[in-house]
Structure 1
C-alpha cells in the first residue's frame, strides 16, 4: 500500500508539472498530463509501477464521477427546458452517423464484413467524457455560453452519447458471435435497450436524489455531506462495473443526481460544489495521466494512413450530425461551430474498449485496436486545443452573477 501511495504522489507531482509546462506554451494542461501518462506507461517506457496500473480504472472512476457530478450541479431547470430536444438528438445522431460511416469505410478499405465494421465503428463513435466534461464544467465556471445553456447541452448530450455507442458496440459483438455459433439474437431487442438504458439511468438518478435530499437535510457538517455524495456516486459506478449491468449508465445517473441536488435541495449544493472543486483539482491530475497510460501508439502499425483517411471522413460525417441535431435551436453559426469542435475528442471509451475485440478473438481485432488508439492520439489533442483556442471567440460570456 505504501508503494501505491508513493507512486501516486510522484505521478500527481509529475502530472501537475507537465500540465504547467503545456499551459506556459498556451496549450491545454490536460494534453501535458495525457502525454506524460503515455510516455511513462506500458506503451512506451513502462515506468509506472504495476500496482498503479492495477488500480488505474478505479482511480479514473473517482476523478470522472467527481467532475460529472459537478457538471450536473451546473444544470438548472430552466436550462433543461432549453436543451431538451437538441440534447436528445446530440446524444444519438452524431454517434450513429459516425459509427455506421466507419463501418462502411472499413468494408471498403479494410475488407471487413459489415458486422466487423460495426464493432470498430462504435468503438470510435463515442465522444470522450474525460475531455469534454471537464471542458464544459470550466465553461460553466467562466459563464461562457450560459445564456443559451451550451455547456449544459453538450454535457447532457455527451453523457447519453456513450450509452448509445457502447450499446451498439456490444450489439455488433453479439451479432458477430451469433453468426459464428449460428445462434439467432434479437437485433430489435438490442436496439430497444438504448432508450430503456437511458430511461432507467435517469430514474435511478432522480430516486437517489430524493433519498440524498433526506440525508443532506439531516447532515450538518459540509465535509460529511461531501463524503456522503462522493461515496454514493462511487457506489453507483462500481455497481455498474462489477455486475456488468447492460441497462444502466452510472455516469448519466451521477449527472442527474447532481442536477436534482442543485435544483431541489436548496442552496446547500454550493458548499458541496466548493469542496468537490478542490477534489477535482487533484483528481484531474490522475484522470488525464491514467488515460494517457492506456494509449499504446505501438499498436497503430501499418494502418496509420488508412486510419487517418477513415477518421477524416467519419469526423466530417459526425460534424454534420452535430449540425443536424442543432437545427431549430437559437444558436448562431459561431456557437454551432463550437458544438462541432466540442464533439470531436475521443479518449476514454476508445482506450477502454480498443483491446476487447482482439482479446475475444474477433478477426481483425488487432486492426480495430490500432485504429481505435489512433483515433485517441489524433482527436484528443486536436479537440482539446480547439476547444481552448476558440471558446472566447465563439461563445459569449455572461456578465450577470454566475449560475453556480
Structure 2
C-alpha cells in the first residue's frame, strides 16, 4: 500500500488512471524488500544443498544464485533490494564473524602456541596485502589507500572452507601426528582478524580523504589509523570487562542475556563508529570486545572452545546470515558494467598476490619438523577465500556512494573491488576445497594410531550411551517409586503401577 501510494503521488495529475495503474503494477512486479530477501534466502539454501551434494563449498551455490537473481532479465529480484537492507545485514554478518573469531582466541593459548602459528597467521596475509596493493597501483591505477583496501580484502582466507576441509582430514588421521590441521585452523582465525583490521584502517583513511587521492596531509593519514585502533580497543576492553559481571552469575538465564548484550554491543560498535566517522575503530572494537569478555568467562566460569555456550547461538545466527550475505553480494555485481580489460587486469593482480602468498606460506613452515611434501601442502590449504571477502568487499562501494561530494572515480574503484572480491570467491573457494581434499591424503602422513584412536572414541561413545541408558533406567525407577507411593495414598495403585511398568519398558528400549 505504501509503495502504491508513493507511485501514485509521483504521477502527474494530468495523466490518466491507466498510466497510474500500469506504474503501480510495474513497481509491484519486482516485489518488496522483504519478498526479495525471502526469495534470495530460499534459493540460496536450495543452491547450498545442491553444492553439498556435488562436494562443493555451500557458499559457492549461494553466490551463483545471487548473481542469477541480480542479473537475469525479468527475475532480477536481488537488484531491487534497498541498499539500507544490504548494508545492515552485511554489518551484522561482519559482527558475527568478528565475535566468533574473538571468542576463539584465548590469550593463554596464544602464548603457548609455537612461532610457526604466528608466522603463518601474519606473514602470508601481510605479503599478499602489500603485494596486491602495489600491483593495484601499477596495473589498475589505484591510489595507495584504495590499493591497500583491495589488498586486505584479498589477504584473508575463508574459515568456512579451510576449517571444514582440515577437520575432514583430521578425522581420517592425516597430519594429526605432527599437528598440521591444528596449525592451519589456529592460524586461520588470526589471519582473518588481521585482514579485517587492516582493511578498516585503510577504509578510514580513504573515507577521510587524507590519503594520496585526498586533500589532507600524509601525517594526518598516518595518525588516523593508530587513533582509530586505540579507540576501538578502549571501547572493546571496557564493555568486555563489563560483561564479566552483567548479568550476574546467579541470574536465571545468564547465557541468553550475555549473548544479547554481546551481539548488541558489537552492532553498536560497528554502526556507532560509522556514524561518528571512525570507520577504522569498529572492527577492532568488536574483536577486542569478544576477546576480553571471552577471557573473563574462561577464567571464572570455566568455559573453553569445546564447551563455550556462546558459540552455538552465534553459529545459528551465522547459518541465517550466510545465504543472505553471499546472495546479496552476488546480486550487487552488474555483469553489463564489467569491462573485459579491467577484469583481466584485476585477475592479474589476484594472481600476483596469490603466487607470493603461497611462497610466503611455504617459507613460514621451514623451521618446523614437517617434511617437504607436508610443507608444500600448507600453501595450497591457505588458498580458499570467501567469508571475509563477502563481508567487507562491498564496504568500499557503500562508502563511495554515501559521500556528499560523490567522486565517480572512487565509485569506479570501489566497483572494481567488489567485482574482484566476488570473482576471487568463485575461483578460489571450489579450487581450494578440491585441493585440500585431493592433496591431503597424498601429501600428508596418516597417523599410525588413528584406527586405535577412533576405536577408543567409539568405545567411549558406546560407554556413554550405556551410562545414559543406566541413568534413564534409574530415573524411570525413581519415577515409578514415586508413582506407586502416590497411588498407595490415593487408593489407585493399579492404574499407576501400569504407568510405572510402561516407564521401565521405555527406559529399557
Which TM-score bucket, shorter chain as reference?
Answer: 0.7 to 0.9
Aligned to 2:480: none
Residue 274 of structure 2: aligned partner:
241
Residue-by-residue CA offset, 1:318-374 (whole Å, 9 max, x unaligned): 444555666656775145314531468844333221475687665754653453244
**1:205 corresponds to:** 236
RMSD in angstroms over aligned alpha carbons?
3.9
Change (3 A) 1:3 1:343: closer
Residue range with higher mean Cα deviation, 379-388 or 35-44: 35-44
- The 8 Å contact of residues 295 and 351 in structure 1, kept in 2 or not, is answered as no
- 2:57 aligned with 1:57, yes or no? no
**3-state DSSP class of the match of 1:27?**
coil
Contact 2:240 2:290 in 1 (8 A): no
* Alignment correspondent of 1:281: 319
C-alpha distance 373-236 of structure 1, shift in aligned 2 (>3 A): closer
Question: Within 1, Cα distance between the matches of 2:257 and 2:279?
Answer: 32
2:350 to 304, 307, 311: 311
From 28, 39, 56, give the equivalent of 2:68. Answer: 39
| Cα distance change, pair 7–330 in 1 and its aligned pair in 2 (3 A) | farther
Q: Deviations over 1:289-345 (max 9, x none)?
A: 122222223322242333333332233234445556666567751453145314688
Name the CA distance, whole Å, in 1 between partners of 2:272 and 2:419.
31
Report the alpha carbon displacement of residue 99 of structure 1 after superposing the two structures with TM.
Answer: 0.8
What is the CA–CA distance in structure 2 between the aligned matches of 1:52 and 1:361, rounded to whole Å?
Answer: 19
SS of the residue 1:270 aligns to: coil
CA–CA separation in structure 1 for the residues paired with 2:58 and 2:327: 11
- Provide TM-score, normalisation by structure 2: 0.64
- Answer with 270-279 or 189-198: which moved more: 189-198
* 1:186 matched to 2:218: yes
1:261-340 equivalences in 2 (<5 Å): 263-267=298-302, 270-303=308-341, 304-323=343-362, 328=367, 332-334=374-376, 336-338=378-380, 340=382
Q: CA separation in 2, counterparts of 1:259 and 1:224?
A: 15
Residue 434 of structure 2 corresponds to: 389
**Number of aligned pairs?**
388
| Alpha-carbon spacing, 1:244–1:160, altered in 2? closer, same or farther (3 Å) | farther
Give the Cα separation in 2 of the matches to 1:136 and 1:315: 16
Q: Which residue of structure 1 lines up, in the alignment, with residue 493 of structure 2? A: none
Asked which structure has the greater RCO (Cα within 8 Å, sep 6+), the reply is 1
Q: Secondary structure at the match of 2:310?
A: helix
From 87, 106, 124, the equivalent of 2:150 is 124
User: Alpha carbons of 1:237 and 1:218: their partners in 2 closer, same or farther (altered >3 Å)?
Assistant: farther
Range that drifts further, 342-351 or 155-164: 342-351
Q: 1:321/1:120 Cα in 2 relative to 1: closer, same or farther (>3 Å)?
A: farther
In the alignment, which of 175, 180, 194 is matched to residue 211 of structure 2? Answer: 175
CA radius of gyration, larger in? 2
The CA distance in 1 between the partners of 2:97 and 2:187, in whole Å, is: 16
Q: 1:220-262 CA distances to partner (integer Å, 9 max, x unpaired)?
A: 3133332232222222222122222144142533552564356
**Is contact 1:93-1:321 (8 Å) kept?**
yes
Relative to structure 2, which stretch is displaced further, 217-226 or 343-352? Answer: 343-352
Question: For residues 42 and 265 of structure 1, what CA distance do their matches in structure 2 show?
Answer: 52
Q: 1:249 to 1:225 in 2, by over 3 A?
A: closer
2:39 match: 10
* Larger CA deviation: 116-125 vs 321-330: 321-330
CA distance in 2, matches of 1:88, 1:243: 30
Q: 2:392 matched to which residue of 1?
A: 349
Is the 8 Å Cα contact of residues 157 and 385 (structure 2) preserved in structure 1? Answer: no
Write the distance in 2 (CA, Å) between the matches of 1:169 and 1:62: 18
Give the drift of 1:30.
Answer: 0.5
- The answer as to whether partners of 1:346 and 1:376 remain within 8 angstroms in 2 is yes
Cα–Cα, structure 1 residues 324 and 284, in superposed 2: closer, same or farther, change >3 Å? same
Q: Is the 8 A contact 1:63 1:287 kept in 2?
A: yes
Structure 1: how far apart are the matches of 2:223 and 2:364? 21
Are residue 95 (structure 1) and residue 133 (structure 2) matched? Answer: no
Deviations 1:184-207 (A, max 9, x none): 5034x4235445544543443333
SS at 2:298's partner residue? helix
SS in 1 for 2:245: helix
Q: Is the 8 A contact 2:71 2:335 kept in 1?
A: no
Specify which of 252, 256, 259 is matched with residue 220 of structure 1: 252
The SS at the match of 1:317 is helix
